């Protein structure tokens, strides 16, 4: 079993990163070479800006290359709760922003000819307990009435046509969305950014961002670069001069296992529709079939940061959960196990704008595949003077109380969620 991301391990080689020192100047420096940073570099370069992208590690090596590979409409929060929290007008705007984000991913794949095994099969949210069905019915009625008619409730009998498991009692199908190979999409998006003139630097950790006349001087482990504008797209970075952002994000671990390749007839019986799936538990699971016929199965597993010993422990928990949910796959060998950090905001919504003159976009809270890609395009517009394009421009973003950057509270949150899952 490899303690590595399946997406990164099976991606084609990235040939577009720059060798040599970071130096010179650019119109824009983007810090973070995940989907937000690469998408922004593609959009900015396409309109003629010179762009330098810096990453402390491997391009796409953070959350962008370590997630479940789902590209779906739907906010991180329950829509009923979101409407109660924000009011219906803002809740509709949030939902539509995520629908727009799916469109953005599909457009970039098409326009840049990115080969990433994209499948537009939608998402099915599965009721893990009988009484969860009633809440899905309430949610579906509100979504259908207010914002999206292209959804459908499935009863338990129809769920059996979708998923061969006795673990579920109904489901909510949202058809707008799909799934893709994260590593291939990363390489394709990086290549697109370079075609439009961007320079990409790996292993160039940023240690300082200093105001310098009309622009900024950015110091990295590979040299210095000056820029007129800076976009921070780091997510929950635990290093560098990003303390203001760290105090506003909880870096929650999410863990994934991937099986050996499975027999086509077995997969056709267990998951015939090949959708993206997620469950209704607070300590939820998500799963899908990979392009080479493996089952990817993920979830919170443990409320802790992602590190190799922790990943292995979480992998064993996930393997047990997979076997319980799908007895037909109980003996499947696990080939990959890894973890990643979700940049969870307190309100579980993205946040983007400016702080001290520097632009930022992050806080995708587990729905970053589509939203991060979309916000890269949006922030290119915002940095070009079109601030109204930012759907999160009016959101306040206070620090998490008691959070100084190290998420000491995660075990307590995990215990709370486990207890609540028993009674909810």
Q: What is the share, in percent, of the chain residues with pLDDT greater than 90?
A: 82
Contact assessment for residue 247 and residue 404, using Cβ atoms and an 8 Å cutoff: yes
Sketch the domain layout of the chain as residue ranges: 6-414
Residue 40 · residue 233 · CB < 8 Å = yes
Q: Which SS3 state, helix, strand or coil, does residue 44 take? A: helix
Closest by alpha carbon to 249, among 264, 267, 232, 261? Answer: 232
Q: Is 311 a residue whose pLDDT tops 60?
A: yes
Radius of gyration over alpha carbons of the chain, in Å?
21
How far is residue 243's CA from residue 57's CA, in Å, rounded to a whole number? 19
Query: How large a percentage of the chain has pLDDT more than 70?
Result: 93
Please tell me which residue, 310 or 96, carries the higher pLDDT value. 96
Answer whether residue 185 shows pLDDT above 60.
Answer: yes
Of the candidate ranges 27-36, 72-81, 331-340, 385-394, the one whose mean pLDDT is the lowest: 72-81
Total-model pTM: 0.94
Neighbours of 76 (CB within 10 A): 21
Cβ atoms of 296 and 258 within 8 Å: the answer is yes
pLDDT for position 376: 98
DSSP character string of 120-159? ---EEEEPSSTTHHHHHHHHHHHHHHHT--SEEEE-HHHH
Coil/strand/helix, residue 45: helix
How would residue 1 be classed by pLDDT, with cut points 50, 70 and 90? confident
Reported as a pLDDT band with limits 50, 70 and 90, residue 229 is very high
pLDDT 10s digits, 73-129: 877 568 999 999 999 999 999 999 999 999 999 999 999 999 999 999 999 999 999
pLDDT for 252: 83
Query: How do 70-72 and 123-126 pair as beta strands?
Result: unpaired
Mean pLDDT estimate for the chain: 92
pLDDT for 314 equals: 84
What span, in angstroms and rounded, lies between the C-alpha atoms of 298 and 277?
10
Domain 6-414 has CATH 3.50.50.60: yes
Q: What is the pLDDT of residue 284?
A: 87
Beta-carbon contacts of residue 22 (< 8 Å; ≥ 6 apart): 52, 54, 201, 204, 220, 222, 223, 224, 225
pLDDT digits (tens, 9 = 90+) for 325-374: 999 999 999 999 999 888 989 999 999 999 999 999 999 998 899 999 99
Q: What are phi and psi of 51, to 5 degrees?
A: -130, 135
- Residue ranges of E strands in 11-63: 25-31, 51-54
| 414 pLDDT higher than 80 | no
For 252-291, b/e burial (b = at least 16 CB within 10 A) is bbbbbbbbeebeeebbeebbeeebbbbbbbbbbbbbbbbe
Helix (H) / strand (E) element for 94: namely helix 88-111
């Amino acid at each position: 079993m490899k303690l590595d991301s399946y997406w990164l391990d099976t991606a084609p080689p990235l040939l577009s990163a720059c060798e040599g020192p970071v130096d010179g100047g650019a119109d824009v420096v983007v810090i973070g070479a995940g989907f937000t940073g690469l998408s922004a570099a593609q959009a900015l370069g396409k309109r003629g800006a010179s762009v330098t992208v810096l990453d402390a590690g491997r391009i796409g090596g953070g959350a962008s290359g370590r997630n479940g590979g789902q590209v779906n409409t739907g906010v991180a929060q329950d829509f009923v709760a979101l409407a109660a929290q924000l009011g219906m007008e803002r809740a509709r705007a949030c939902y539509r922003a995520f629908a727009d984000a799916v469109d953005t991913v599909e457009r970039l794949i098409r326009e840049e000819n990115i080969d990433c095994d994209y499948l537009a099969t939608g998402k099915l949210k599965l009721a893990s307990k009988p009484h969860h069905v009633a809440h899905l019915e309430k949610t579906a009625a509100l979504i259908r009435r207010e914002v999206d008619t292209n959804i459908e409730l499935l009863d338990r009998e129809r769920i059996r046509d979708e998923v061969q498991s006795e673990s579920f009692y109904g489901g909510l199908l949202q058809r707008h969305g799909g799934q893709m190979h994260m590593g291939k999409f990363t390489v394709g998006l990086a290549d697109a950014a370079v075609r439009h003139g961007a320079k990409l630097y790996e292993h160039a950790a940023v240690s300082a961002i200093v105001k310098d006349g009309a622009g900024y001087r950015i110091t990295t482990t590979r040299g210095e670069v000056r820029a007129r504008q800076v976009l921070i797209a780091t997510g929950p970075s635990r290093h560098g001069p990003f303390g203001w952002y760290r105090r506003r994000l909880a870096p929650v671990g999410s863990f994934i296992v991937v099986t050996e390749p499975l027999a086509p007839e077995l997969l056709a019986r267990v998951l015939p529709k090949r959708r993206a799936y997620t469950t209704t538990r607070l300590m939820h699971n998500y799963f899908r079939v990979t392009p080479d016929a493996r089952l990817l199965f993920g979830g919170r597993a443990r409320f802790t940061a992602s590190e190799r010993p922790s990943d292995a422990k979480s992998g064993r928990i996930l393997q047990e959960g997979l076997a319980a949910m799908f007895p037909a796959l109980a003996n499947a060998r696990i080939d990959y196990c890894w973890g990643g950090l979700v940049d969870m905001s307190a309100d579980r919504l993205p946040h983007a704008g400016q702080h001290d003159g520097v632009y930022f976009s992050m806080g995708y809270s587990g729905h970053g595949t589509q939203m991060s890609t979309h916000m890269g395009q949006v922030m290119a517009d915002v940095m070009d003077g079109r601030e109204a394009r930012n759907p999160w421009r009016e959101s306040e973003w206070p620090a998490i109380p008691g959070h100084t950057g190290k998420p000491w509270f995660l075990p307590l949150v995990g215990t709370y969620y486990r207890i609540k899952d028993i009674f909810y």
